[in-house]
Structure 1
Amino acid sequence: MKLEKTIRSIPNYPKKGILFRDITSLLENKKAFNYTIKKMRFISSKVKFNKIAAIESRGFIFASVLSFLTKKPLILLRKKNKLPGKTISQKFKLEYGYDTIEIHKSSLKKNDKVLIIDDLIATGGTALAAAKLVEKTKAKVSGFVFLIDLFDLPGNKKLIAKGYKTFSLIKFPGH
């Protein structure tokens, strides 16, 4: 299946100069969504991990299904002030500003092996922040799984340069 054909591209969203890759068209296509999950499940079978971390918000979609299929706990990496318990925070730069993500302090333990899931990798700010959060808890990042790699943006290269394993199902130019 050519998953690329199920992704809608929207120019100049959320601001001028950004080509937004909209995954809602893939999610609305039951064959494409099921195929995506099967591929992500296959990729995850090649990585040793005992917990799955999902990056807000589109990462939640894929990670929750993978958590169910692999019978591994699901850890949420949320935007600032969205988690009710004691948290650890990490600020990061986006393509179009700054944001902060948080994790519950109690979610991960020393030596947990964490597979991080998100919909796409672009400049790498969110993914690197997620890795830093995981490592602040003394857990280890086993790898990343993305639906989309915007290959002409530096995110995936940054992750690999830091020694992280990365996997993606689709490669698109980011511009």
Structure 2
Amino acid sequence: MKNTAPSRQHILPTNIWNPGELPPGLTPELLREPHGPLPRNPLIAEPLYRIKYVEKAGTGTTDMIADCRKAGLPGPDFEQRGPYFVVTVWRDWLTDEVLARFQLNERQLLTVSYVKKMGRISNSEYQKLTGASRPTASRDLDELSKRGILKKIGTTGKGTHYLLSKKRITKDFKES
């Protein structure tokens, strides 16, 4: 009998829960930067590395971030939640169908593709990418931020940039 139940692709993140805490001296923030190995049990970690069952210790989280960027996804979140270490991997919720619902202009669509590939964009990069004036770039980026597509980091000036929003805001559309 054929399955007639409706299905849909969920855009919620994937959470990976691991019992245990990070080693002393290592924080979720430090996992985003290159760091040395701090195995919980070196007597087990070393032989597993030698037989190539595990990769080089200290590179997994930075590899995850790089792999997400290559796939056009926001980087993962790393958190210590009580006795659990949690990794949240975000899916690409900005599909062509979703972007069509936002009714973005060509500059904004180009920007979303750029940020998926490069990980971030500044106002000056937006101007170079699209040929827009500074006021138009500011207006377009502010709109993408207000609509929940991009997240603004900083307030004004050279350090201000925009990242992909990890969580969708249902202001403009609802998942069907």
TM-score normalized with structure 1 length: 0.31
**Structure number, greater radius of gyration:** 2
Q: Where is the strand percentage greater, Structure 1 or Structure 2?
A: 1
TM-score normalized with structure 2 length: 0.31
